[in-house]
């Protein structure tokens, strides 16, 4: 007993030294790991100085104007546009000079409603399938997305943090990703893909499969909402996505329901604002939209069942509306007689009406696709953009998909994963550029066939496609 007591005294006396030693070892190990990490891994979004490239003889769509600018020359140095001039630009011997022959230089396209992890798998594969396989096919789809001329996407729900990291550090090829992380939903809300056999949920119990892989996060109180929001921010979310009303694809989520309570939404908004960013919500109905706005939400996704009064409220409050001209194939992709098909049949007729209301009240409108579970539809990403001419001129549609979308991205503030201006061709902007064989302001269908018409695709000052060299 005396020996045991003496040992405890010695251990107690040694604790400060042991703690100091462990702390010192941890700090030394951290320093070694930082020193050994590749620059891209330690700071994946930091500018990388690359070669200088001069685009000669280009007509410019700058992302803001309804007409092309005068025939010009554009110098890219590193990952930014350094100079634009109608006169010749003197360059050093190491600069790569590309004669563009009067083709159109424009900003890379931006899709504001994308789900990078949900394009190629089926719903069952996305939730219950092998995570490694799902990441591999998402990687291949990311490359295709960039090759369609989409240099930036805002991902509004899915386990995309690893994919984004791999793109940013150069491991794989793909667009810039503004990630939301998991879709935050209530029990039975849009995004809750559990089966009835998974009920009842035990508060504080183990996470479900969808939560484990980061696809969804269930929150049924203001405190739970705060936790879920902060979990996404901790992982690098640039904005937060909640499902404030019912949805089409979720099995137990009626379209007409309002899901989160206003205090729950306010908790999300407060947590996001504390990090300097914003909340966007999935919502169709006037009730869901109005409650979200009352809670301080800055952006509405879809809004396809809104009425005139709700549209006016959105405009008066300066709220963003992220709209999608969904192709009918998304509706008919659900089996006849299924709950999802019935809900799609209810929602889709409202798309055209919503665009009319957005124009009537001059709502700040962003553009996206919301393609799900269909590689074939994803390949029509540019064609979905071109379909906006049902309501807009080609220049209005292209401005929306470049500089306007970039304005919404800027709401992320310091949570933006990329430092620099997107969506425009101007000095000091990030060099995300497309060289188009033709004038897309006259023929927007050029963007529907990127393999043929996008002869150069550049992201972050690096050329990923150059058909002029063939």
User: Residue 141 belongs to a domain with what CATH number?
Assistant: 3.20.20.140
Phi first, then psi, for residue 163 (nearest 5°) are: -60, -45
Q: Are residues 180 and 76 in the same domain?
A: no
- Give the span between the Cα atoms of 298 and 279, in whole angstroms: 6
Q: Is 172 inside any structural domain?
A: yes
Q: Is 116 inside any structural domain?
A: yes
Q: What are the 10-residue block averages of pLDDT along the chain, 470 residues in total?
A: 46 47 43 39 38 94 95 95 92 92 97 95 84 93 97 97 97 98 94 82 80 89 97 98 93 92 98 98 97 98 97 98 93 87 92 97 97 92 97 98 98 96 97 97 97 97 89
Given this model, what pLDDT does residue 214 score? 85
Q: Are residues 251 and 318 in the same domain?
A: yes
Given this model, what pLDDT does residue 470 score? 55
Q: Are residues 114 and 95 in the same domain?
A: no
Pairing of strands 183-185, 216-218: parallel
- Give the span between the Cα atoms of 363 and 352, in whole angstroms: 15
Specify which residues 69 forms β-bridges with. 60
Q: Are residues 27 and 77 in the same domain?
A: no
β-sheet with 240-243: strand ranges across? 216-218, 183-185, 240-243, 279-283, 299-302, 320-323, 364-367
Q: Is 414 inside any structural domain?
A: no
Q: Are residues 154 and 254 in the same domain?
A: yes
User: Residue 98 belongs to a domain with what CATH number?
Assistant: 2.30.40.10
Q: Are residues 306 and 318 in the same domain?
A: yes
Q: Are residues 143 and 228 in the same domain?
A: yes
Q: Are residues 145 and 62 in the same domain?
A: no
DSSP assignment of 169-191 equals TTSS---EEEE--SEEE-TTSTT
Beta strand spans in 266-356 (E): 279-283, 299-302, 320-323
What's the total number of domains in the chain? 3
Domain end (from 333, 367, 391)? 391
> CA torsion sign, 99 to 101 to 104 to 110?
negative
Given this model, what pLDDT does residue 203 score? 76
380 touches 448 (CB < 8 A): yes
pTM: 0.88
Q: Is 413 inside any structural domain?
A: no
Q: Is 256 inside any structural domain?
A: yes
- Give the span between the Cα atoms of 55 and 59, in whole angstroms: 10
Phi first, then psi, for residue 249 (nearest 5°) are: -80, -20
Q: Is 405 inside any structural domain?
A: no
Q: Is 410 inside any structural domain?
A: no
Phi first, then psi, for residue 393 (nearest 5°) are: -75, 160
Q: Is 418 inside any structural domain?
A: no
Q: Are residues 24 and 92 in the same domain?
A: no
Given this model, what pLDDT does residue 377 score? 93
Given this model, what pLDDT does residue 382 score? 97
Given this model, what pLDDT does residue 246 score? 92
Q: Are residues 359 and 216 in the same domain?
A: yes
Q: Which domain holds residue 22?
A: 2-36
Q: Are residues 270 and 183 in the same domain?
A: yes
Q: Are residues 236 and 97 in the same domain?
A: no
Domain end (from 391, 410, 438)? 391
């Amino acid at each position: 007993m005396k020996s045991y007591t003496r040992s405890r005294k010695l251990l107690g006396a040694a604790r400060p030294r042991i703690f100091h030693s462990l702390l010192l070892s941890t700090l030394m190990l951290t320093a070694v790991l930082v020193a050994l990490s590749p620059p891209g891994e330690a700071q994946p979004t930091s500018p990388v100085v690359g070669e200088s490239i001069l685009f000669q003889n280009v007509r410019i769509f700058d992302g803001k104007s309804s007409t092309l600018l005068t025939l010009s020359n554009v110098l890219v140095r590193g990952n930014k546009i350094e100079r634009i001039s109608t006169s010749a630009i003197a360059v050093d011997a190491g600069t790569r000079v590309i004669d563009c022959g009067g083709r159109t230089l424009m900003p890379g396209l931006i899709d504001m409603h994308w789900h990078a992890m949900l394009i190629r798998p089926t719903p069952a594969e996305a939730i219950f399938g092998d995570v490694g396989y799902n990441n591999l096919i998402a990687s291949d789809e990311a490359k295709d997305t960039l090759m369609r001329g989409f240099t930036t996407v805002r991902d509004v729900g899915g386990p995309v943090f690893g994919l984004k990291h791999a793109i940013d550090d150069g491991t794989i090829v793909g667009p810039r990703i503004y990630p939301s992380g998991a879709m935050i939903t209530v029990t039975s809300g849009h995004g809750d893909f559990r089966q009835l056999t998974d009920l009842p949920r035990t508060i504080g119990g183990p996470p479900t499969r969808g939560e484990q892989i980061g696809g969804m996060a269930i929150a049924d109180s203001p405190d739970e909402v705060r936790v879920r929001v902060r979990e996404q921010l901790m992982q690098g979310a640039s904005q937060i996505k909640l499902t404030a009303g019912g949805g089409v694809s979720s099995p137990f989520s009626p379209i007409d329901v309002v899901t989160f309570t206003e205090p729950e939404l306010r908790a999300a908004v407060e947590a996001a604002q504390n990090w300097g960013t914003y909340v966007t919500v999935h919502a169709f109905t006037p009730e869901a939209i109005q409650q979200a706005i009352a809670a301080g939400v800055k952006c509405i996704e879809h809004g396809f069942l809104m009425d005139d009064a709700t549209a006016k409220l959105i405009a008066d409050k300066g709220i963003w509306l992220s709209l999608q001209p969904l192709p009918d194939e998304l509706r008919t992709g659900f089996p006849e007689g299924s709950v999802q098909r019935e809900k799609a049949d209810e929602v889709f007729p409202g798309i055209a009406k919503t665009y009319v209301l957005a124009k009537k009240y001059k709502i700040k409108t962003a553009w996206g696709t919301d393609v799900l579970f269909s590689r074939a539809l994803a390949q029509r990403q540019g064609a979905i953009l071109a379909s906006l001419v049902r309501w807009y001129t080609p220049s209005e549609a292209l401005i929306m998909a470049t500089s306007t979308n970039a304005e919404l991205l800027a709401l992320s503030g310091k949570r933006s994963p990329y430092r620099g201006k997107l969506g425009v061709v101007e000095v000091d902007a990030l060099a995300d550029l497309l060289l188009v064989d033709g004038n897309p302001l006259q023929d927007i269908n050029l963007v529907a066939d990127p393999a043929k018409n996008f002869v150069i695709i550049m992201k972050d000052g690096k050329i990923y496609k150059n058909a002029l060299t063939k």
